[in-house]
Structure 1
Amino acid sequence: MKAAQARILLTGATGGIGREAAAAFLAAGARVLLSGRSPQALAALRVRLARRHALGEDDLSWAAADLRMPQEVEALAEHAAGWRCNVLVHAAGAPAFGALDALDAVTLADVLNTNLLAPMLLTRALLPHLRRQRRAQVLCVGSVLGAIGLPGYSVYGASKSGLRGFAEALRRELAGSAVRVQYLGPRSTRTSFNTAQAQAYAKETGSASDSAASVAAALVQMLASEAPERFLGFPEKLAVRLNGLVPTALDGGFRGHGRTLATLASLQERTGP
């Protein structure tokens, strides 16, 4: 879809990737409905973007919603349909880094609800409206960790792996309809999403990262290309292919990551948070 034809509901709009994505979509000519949990943050973002791009209320609007609450998901879908949305971008997310036994049940539930269940519920709620459009797209912002199991990211990876499976199955389910379903898998992105411990882990393991602006640019490209799936970064893209063909072949390559995770956990226990 050409950006000028897109009316995009963007969740997680006030996050690191979300803010850059909103600006990139607008610069490409799209109209955007910003969504997030904080009305104050959304209103402030809307003012900044509207001034930069000289946009009116119909071109750039916002709607607050806590996607962990099913009733708010339904209300957001109704609002987006009334706004004539034809593209849904799932950019909202919750982080989780650390060994499984170091993560509490509340964190597990929050990550799975935000990263997996909420996109499923919002897509389901908005799907009848999207089906009525001449052309529509659902673009899921996942992670390479949804295709590569990495020590320290068992919970986060599970949520993104589930999102990838959802996007893949729904893409096939809606084949022949007006709705295209896509999945973008960025590697580590330089935003406040990453905790200090996660950043230390990335540094110790030599993991590369990208800017939020580069991820936003990839989203704009996917909107235009309608590509079903894309992963960002090298060697991450190669690792995704290898892991898909022979998953156990990479087990040995991540033993160092496991040792680093254990070292960081031990250090945190001695020094405190």
Structure 2
Amino acid sequence: MKPGDARVLLTGAAGGIGQAVAGALVEAGAAVLLAGRSAAALSAQSRALQPQPDPARVHWHQVELEDFGSIAELARVASDWRCNVVVHGAGLPAFGRLEAIDPAEMHRLLQVNLLAPMVLTQALLPHLRSLPQAQVLYVGSVLGALGLPGYSVYGASKAGLRGFAQALRRELADGPVQVQYLGPRSTRTRFNSAAARAHAEQTGTASDTPQQVARALLRMLGDGTPERFLGTSERAAVRINGLAPTLLDAAFSGHRRHLPPAAPPSPPTPATATAPRA
């Protein structure tokens, strides 16, 4: 789809990659509906992005992706706004040994990274199917195709998102809705914790700027590529891992050795044992 024809709902718009994507979309001529958790951040971002002489191309809506009612309201607003492109960019990080990650953190991460995009897509499908052309793009991660030590929980969320996108792409292949998956590699934003950044430096992990990810996303919207991973060596590793996963086990031993030590999380108390309300 040409940027000038695109009306893009962008979740995670105020994040590092989200801000770069929003700027690139507006600069290319697209209309953008910014969605995120902080109304103040979205309002300021909207004002900064207002294109002249057509400021009406940028709007925003506050959403809580852990709340199904809030997701349903966003879907209603986006449908009324006549969005024809959905970019699922929202996400939460998790880094460290599995025994160091609290179950409540796992629940919240899977809710935001995996379940929310699924529920939002489901809510928007009737509207998107009514259009001559529509696109749904999931911003995942190369870690959704490569199981890396220290990223078991985060990688699981992105692997699930990739599997969902792949199945949905095939399910909707005979209609107007095109489904895509973008897998960035490590990106230089505040999304990554200090421990994750230190681990990346120790293991020589290559990274990109948010602007590089935004340019790749814009290319995908234009050329219709179903799936793309960033980084030459990362793309090769994804192919090898898909064909013979155990061949790469030894290649990531350095990533395992450089993981920070961690004590197990404290056992949940009765007040925290109940999963957060969706």
Q: Does 1:27 align with 2:27?
A: yes
CA RMSD, 1 decimal? 1.3
Match of 2:159 in 1: 161
Determine the C-alpha separation between the residues in 2 that align with 1:145 and 1:266: 21
Relative to total residues, which structure has the larger helix share, 1 or 2? 1
2:213 partner letter: V
Residue 26 of structure 1 contacts residue 53 of structure 1 at CA under 8 Å; is this kept in 2? no
What secondary structure, in the 3-state scheme, does the structure 1 residue paired with 2:55 have? coil
Cα displacement (A) at 1:56: 2.1
Q: How does 1:52-91 map to 2 (within 5 A)?
A: 53-57=52-56, 59-91=57-89
Tell me the SS of whatever aligns to 1:207: coil
Per-residue deviation at 1:20? 0.4
% identical equivalent positions: 58
Which residues of structure 1 form unaligned runs of 5+?
A: 268-273
Question: What's the offset of the Cα at 1:18?
Answer: 0.3
User: Is the contact between residue 99 and residue 262 of structure 2 (CA under 8 Å) also seen in structure 1?
Assistant: no
Indicate yes or no: 2:241 matched with 1:246. Answer: no
- Per-residue Cα deviation, 1:186-229 (whole angstroms, up to 9, x for no partner): 00000000000000000011101000000000111000011100
Unaligned runs of 5+ in 2: 264-278
CA displacement at 1:157 relative to structure 2? 0.2
Once residues 70 and 238 of structure 2 are traced to their aligned partners in structure 1, the CA distance between those partners, rounded to angstroms, is 35
5 Å matches for 1:1-273? 1-50=1-50, 53-57=52-56, 59-261=57-259, 264-265=260-261
Structure 1 residue 68 displacement after superposition: 1.0
Q: Give, in angstroms, the shift of residue 174 of structure 1.
A: 0.1
Q: What TM-score results when the alignment is normalised by the length of structure 2?
A: 0.93
The CA deviation string for residues 46-98 of structure 1, in whole angstroms up to 9 with x for no partner, is: 00000x554323x1100000111000000000000000000000000000000
Give how far 1:136 is off: 0.1
Moved over 6 A (4+): none
Q: Equivalents in 2 of 1:8, 1:241: separation in Å?
A: 31
Contact 2:46–2:58, Cα closer than 8 Å, also in 1: yes
CA distance in 2, matches of 1:227, 1:78: 28
| Residue 255 of structure 1, CA deviation | 1.2
Q: In 2, Cα distance between the equivalents of 1:76 and 1:113?
A: 16
TM-score relative to the length of structure 1? 0.95
Q: CA deviation at 1:106?
A: 1.3
**Distance of 1:112 and 1:141 partners within structure 2:** 15
Distance 2:255 2:40 in 1: 40
The 8 Å contact of residues 12 and 90 in structure 2, kept in 1 or not, is answered as yes
